[in-house]
Structure 1
Amino acid sequence: MGSPGSGKTTVGRLLGDRLGKRVIDVDNDHLESYWNMSVADKLQQVGGDQFLQDEGEALLNLRAEDSIISLSGSNPMHPAAMEHIQRTGMVIFLDVQHDNIVDRLERMKVNRIVGQGRGVPMIDILKYRQQFYEGNYDLRILCEDGETQESIADKIVKSLGEFKSPPHRYTSTRSNLGKGSAENHKSFCDVVLEGLAPDKGLYIRNGAFPKFTPGELQRLLPLSYQERALRILEKWIHPDDLHPRLLGNMINNAYSLSSFNCHKVFPLVHLRGNQYLMELFHGPTASFKDAALQLMPQFFQHSLDTKEDSNTRYLILVATSGDTGGAVLDGFAKHAGPRVGVMVLYPNQGISPIQKLQMTSMTGDRVSVVGVESDFDFCQSTVKKIISNPDMADKLLESFGCKLSAANSINWGRLLPQTVYHITAYLDLVQTSGIKMGEMVDLCIPTGNFGNILTAFYAREMGVPIHRLILASNVNNILTEFFTTGRYNLRNQHLRQTISPAIDILKSSNLERFLYHMTDGDFDQIKEWYSQLDKDGHFTVPTELVNKMQDIIKVDWCSEEDCKSAMRDTFQETGYLLDPHTAVGKVIADRFNQGDRPVVIASTAHYGKFAQDVYSAINKDDGRLDLNPAELFEELGARHPRPAMHWTLGNVVEKAPVHRTVCGADVREIEQELEKFVEKCWR
């Protein structure tokens, strides 16, 4: 399937030769014999509108098995005919650049295209038809500018092999399910629902990373964020799990202007010199977590509707270091149904006042927000313990028909969407900075739980020209020590509260996935290391692995004073206000910056979420300490910074908290609170 002139007939014949199948060209082998006249004569006889109807009716009478069918360019414009074709077999879309098609049609002197001859430019006909192709394919073949039809046929053969493999291809980082029987494999929908694997490992997709060639990345340049997201994510998600049509609808729903107050969604902004900021805070809760959590709840609801019976409920149990909680609550409130509830655990003294108010002011019948008198690491380990507790699982299922899952980045469906904005940042850099496709860039990411930098690693593995990934830590610098020495040591470590609370983390969950990739899927080794970490509080990896990791990721950390100075100096020199996490990234990016390539810093949150600390930093701690959040916003706004105040935060500070429950650092106490909440939701 594809536009007129996309090469369907020639590619179809090449595939027929390579796969040993009969080839049916709808125009030449079916329509002309069915009508007993040429397609051009039929079009001239009945006109464009009637032609589409007659063509669709003829296609409904096509019966074929074990064949390659080359559709006409207008077949997808007849809905009933395309439903018939989709029932017949797999639909492959040759997505060819329109300029290439126009050139080819002019050379071929084609005269049998509906709409041709009415004075409408061919490029406009092709753009109009794109919508019909977008809604009807199972597999997209993204064709490069000027790519040969032999190369396109090779792509199809390779993609067919991947397509026909079972969609149930996710396994735990701690088990050998990938080498076991097929029934032990998990599908995308399975792992989205489960969150954490039964063996306490994290789910990972089997097989090689999907790839983009430089020519395919070039094709993504003129596209919107939503269009890029579809082409990226459909490479990861098997259409039997989530059809591209549904995936595209979810993406458009997630990244609408009503949720992201920016047409670019996550714009790339020049800071100074060779440094750029990837602004990831334009979503409804003003942090990068919105990128995944406006989409993941839709994955979850689809998986629930697909995999479970209509009586099954789910409680999403979430630990947050500040930003995830608000994003989870907003995303599930918008995109999930009445069979899903959300319970958020946050460190009571470890997040900013505005982060806390974003969560505690959230209303809803199936929402619970619970403070915990401990740190994020305790909250996260508690979530894992409760989800992995078989007695709790049996009790909730038997009494309330309720299962547990997670929406932290331990959930694959929560992690995967973040890959998109790293790829998009590179594409935007090519469009705006003058670098050429294929030139290298560095990416610097403030890092706590390792999810954000892991998805940047995925973008790199997919073919994006990222030279170095730079991991930026605050004083909770266990990751810096690990990447330097190979020792992951929690013994005698005490989490320190900082002004960058979202990366106040000692036990970084997604590091496990990275180590799985670095060891080529050595699940036995991963299981051994993490068993030792749980038992003894430490593990050490071999020097060879340390060297391998250092080839990809550079690391460093900064002090609180360094962070404050970066906020103050950057504002004085550029007028740009950094939040404390982005300031950590700026400090570390400066240390590694040799001026030889662009550096993109992930700006993970809006400064307004940390207004007191930002205000104090730019005033050298001499500013007033008695200002409430609304007054702080006014003081900061009076400086006319860029970016402007976030569009949702002004409303947040006017709200009153409705969730006031605080538990001690006791797993059983939290379990009891959870049971009370589930009973309230679904008794």
Structure 2
Amino acid sequence: MSTLYKSTRSDSKTFTASEAILKGLADDGGLFVPTSIPALDVSIEELSKMDYKEVAYNVMKNFLSDFTEEELKDCINKAYDSKFDTEEIAPLVEVEGAYYLELFHGSTIAFKDMALSILPHLLTTSAKKNNINNEIVILTATSGDTGKAAMAGFADVPGTRIIVFYPAGGVSSIQEKQMVTQKGDNTYVVSINGNFDEAQSGVKAIFGDKELAKEMADKGFQFSSANSINIGRLVPQIAYYVYAYAKLFAEGKVAKDEKINVVVPTGNFGNILAAFYAKNMGLPIDKLICASNDNKVLYDFFETGVYDKNREFMLTISPSMDILISSNLERLIYRIAGNSYEKNAALMEDLKTKGKYEITPEMKAELKDFYGNYASEAELSKTIKDTYESCGYIMDTHTAVAATVYDKYKKATGDNKTTVIASTASPFKFTRSVMNAIDPKYDEKGDFELVDELSRIGNVAVPNAIEEIRNADVRHNNNCDVDGMKDIVKKFLGI
């Protein structure tokens, strides 16, 4: 059965997967969602005998049903290859009774690689399927990881260009160097004088600019997105939760149909939404544990049913989660509103005009699968230090948010089910914060001295993603105010 997509804000028409991937964002500003979530049609026993590529195919074929088997397998084979530093692609590591799903073994050492390695191939295949001859311009905002992973995926891909905006001073020094040294004649990186939410809102405004769209079309361009608002980003993320469960089953860690919990450090809500979709496909997941940092807008939402971005924006040592507008939450709101685009659109209008909205008690009752909590800077730093000292495992600051919240969840509920924690970035990506958590004495060292010291004390090799930027030249030195983002885009495209 084919899976079709429609906007969360209107009921005007349905789209195939390839059409939704090409558009990125719906014309009405909504996000594309499947009209129904397809069921897993392969047993866990069968999945447990498969490698990552085979599992990914058996998950993604249900969502990307207008792709032929040959097309989808070609995209998967091109994505999950030697640019990952482990054959498993997403290894599970047992640490102090929990299973860390290491999603950072790709070319930019963050979980975004899991989806952004395949998105360029899904997008170019979608263009061919729909007879699109325009050059596709990927426009994206990043809180640190998406930008580099997207550029790595799209660099020098024929028929594409990519423009990335990131908040000046709002990413780690390693993240910034990864972006500004990016090679590829079709890549363009710009820091903005603002925070991530302002960058993301600016990108959405450019997407919705009809006059600019016409200018683009006249010059042979069209926009698409690499953010997790693109369904082509979200679908590949579902696969790794299925893979994790299949691995646990294969290793005898869970029995058939035994439920597990999943913990996800969450900013934009895409990664945990993928776990929610996996659960709704039939994967035996019980609780979805949403872990926030000091920008705890999601924790407050799960506690109160009120989503309120009217608060101080905190710059933290887990910067990829420094977000107050969790865009992918809209897909969940649409779902708990009974797939009502009218109700969802009204709430999103409240968010736009008032900076907040409140869901009904009936909608809040639909969130029973979720548990939310947050970790302070001091708490997550303590988790990093304590875990290293007890077993030698070094985690990054975002994974530490998840580990801290998981500990709070266990203490609050007594629930000791088998648990998978999404480990979303390599500690090498946030070396200074990680090493300072282990011992403040490290703050005196330079960034790459810290890289070498982390390698030594953790007994792990420095990832290639770090080695390649150690002496790399800065290629992008662009900056603009938020209200200048559109002009920057036009300048890069020559329109």
Alpha-carbon distance in structure 2 between the residues aligned to 1:300 and 1:472? 31
Is residue 307 of structure 1 aligned with residue 122 of structure 2? no
Task: Give 1:520 deviation, angstroms.
Answer: 2.0
SS at match of 2:139: strand
Aligned amino acid, residue 376 of structure 1: F
Q: Residue 492 of structure 2 aligns with which residue? A: 677
Name which of structure 1's ranges 649-658 and 495-504 shifts more when overlaid on structure 2. 649-658
Aligned amino acid, residue 358 of structure 2: T
SS at match of 1:346: strand
Q: Residue 435 of structure 1 aligns with which residue? A: 254
Task: Give 1:501 deviation, angstroms.
Answer: 0.5
SS at match of 2:198: helix
The equivalences for 1:211-360 within 5 A come to 211-212=39-40, 216-238=43-65, 241-256=66-81, 258-273=82-97, 275-310=98-133, 312-333=134-155, 336-337=157-158, 339-360=159-180
Task: Give 1:548 deviation, angstroms.
Answer: 1.8
CA offsets, 1:209-235, max 9 Å, x none? 21136x712111011000111111111
Task: Give 1:381 deviation, angstroms.
Answer: 0.5
**In the alignment, is the contact (CA less than 8 A) between 1:442 and 1:467 conserved in 2?**
yes
Alpha-carbon distance in structure 1 between the residues aligned to 2:446 and 2:479? 23
Alpha-carbon distance in structure 2 between the residues aligned to 1:648 and 1:175? 42
Task: Give 1:617 deviation, angstroms.
Answer: 0.7
**In the alignment, is the contact (CA less than 8 A) between 1:371 and 1:663 conserved in 2?**
yes
Task: Give 1:370 deviation, angstroms.
Answer: 0.1
Q: Residue 412 of structure 1 aligns with which residue? A: 231
Q: Aligned residues: percent identity? A: 35
Task: Give 1:595 deviation, angstroms.
Answer: 5.5
Structure 1 residues 530 and 309, CA gap change in structure 2 (3 angstroms): closer
**In the alignment, is the contact (CA less than 8 A) between 1:196 and 1:410 conserved in 2?**
yes
Task: Give 1:644 deviation, angstroms.
Answer: 3.9
Aligned amino acid, residue 329 of structure 1: M
Name which of structure 1's ranges 575-584 and 216-225 shifts more when overlaid on structure 2. 216-225
Task: Give 1:374 deviation, angstroms.
Answer: 0.7
The equivalences for 1:135-174 within 5 A come to 162-163=1-2, 169-174=4-9
Q: Residue 392 of structure 1 aligns with which residue? A: 212
Q: 1:449 aligns with which of 268, 281, 293?
A: 268
Q: Residue 210 of structure 1 aligns with which residue? A: 38
**In the alignment, is the contact (CA less than 8 A) between 1:474 and 1:558 conserved in 2?**
yes
* TM-score normalised to structure 1 length: 0.71
Q: Residue 126 of structure 1 aligns with which residue? A: none
CA offsets, 1:62-109, max 9 Å, x none? xxxxxxxxxxxxxxxxxxxxxxxxxxxxxxxxxxxxxxxxxxxxxxxx
Residue correspondences, number: 492
The equivalences for 1:11-160 within 5 A come to none
Alpha-carbon distance in structure 2 between the residues aligned to 1:556 and 1:539? 20
Q: Residue 192 of structure 2 aligns with which residue? A: 372
Alpha-carbon distance in structure 2 between the residues aligned to 1:588 and 1:445? 9
**In the alignment, is the contact (CA less than 8 A) between 1:313 and 1:401 conserved in 2?**
yes
**In the alignment, is the contact (CA less than 8 A) between 1:354 and 1:653 conserved in 2?**
no
SS at match of 1:662: strand
Is residue 603 of structure 1 aligned with residue 400 of structure 2? no
Alpha-carbon distance in structure 2 between the residues aligned to 1:319 and 1:538? 22
Aligned amino acid, residue 453 of structure 1: I
Alpha-carbon distance in structure 1 between the residues aligned to 2:434 and 2:104? 16
CA offsets, 1:119-143, max 9 Å, x none? xxxxxxxxxxxxxxxxxxxxxxxxx
Task: Give 1:185 deviation, angstroms.
Answer: 2.1
SS at match of 1:622: helix
Alpha-carbon distance in structure 1 between the residues aligned to 2:443 and 2:140? 35
SS at match of 2:462: coil
Aligned amino acid, residue 294 of structure 2: V
Structure 1 residues 309 and 523, CA gap change in structure 2 (3 angstroms): closer
Is residue 496 of structure 1 aligned with residue 287 of structure 2? no
Task: Give 1:584 deviation, angstroms.
Answer: 0.2
Aligned amino acid, residue 487 of structure 1: V
Alpha-carbon distance in structure 2 between the residues aligned to 1:513 and 1:622? 44
Aligned amino acid, residue 615 of structure 1: M
Q: Residue 30 of structure 2 aligns with which residue? A: 201
Q: 2:382 aligns with which of 565, 577, 585?
A: 565
Alpha-carbon distance in structure 1 between the residues aligned to 2:163 and 2:416? 47
Alpha-carbon distance in structure 2 between the residues aligned to 1:555 and 1:442? 13
Alpha-carbon distance in structure 1 between the residues aligned to 2:341 and 2:463? 44
Aligned amino acid, residue 484 of structure 1: E
Q: Residue 137 of structure 1 aligns with which residue? A: none
CA offsets, 1:159-182, max 9 Å, x none? xxx25xxx6x211000012xxxxx
Alpha-carbon distance in structure 2 between the residues aligned to 1:565 and 1:644? 24
Alpha-carbon distance in structure 2 between the residues aligned to 1:231 and 1:652? 36
**Any stretches of 5+ residues in structure 2 without a counterpart?**
none
Task: Give 1:308 deviation, angstroms.
Answer: 3.5
Aligned amino acid, residue 229 of structure 1: A
CA offsets, 1:12-43, max 9 Å, x none? xxxxxxxxxxxxxxxxxxxxxxxxxxxxxxxx
**In the alignment, is the contact (CA less than 8 A) between 1:454 and 1:514 conserved in 2?**
yes
**In the alignment, is the contact (CA less than 8 A) between 2:48 and 2:246 conserved in 1?**
yes
Task: Give 1:623 deviation, angstroms.
Answer: 2.4
**In the alignment, is the contact (CA less than 8 A) between 2:155 and 2:183 conserved in 1?**
no
Task: Give 1:640 deviation, angstroms.
Answer: 3.3
Task: Give 1:288 deviation, angstroms.
Answer: 0.4
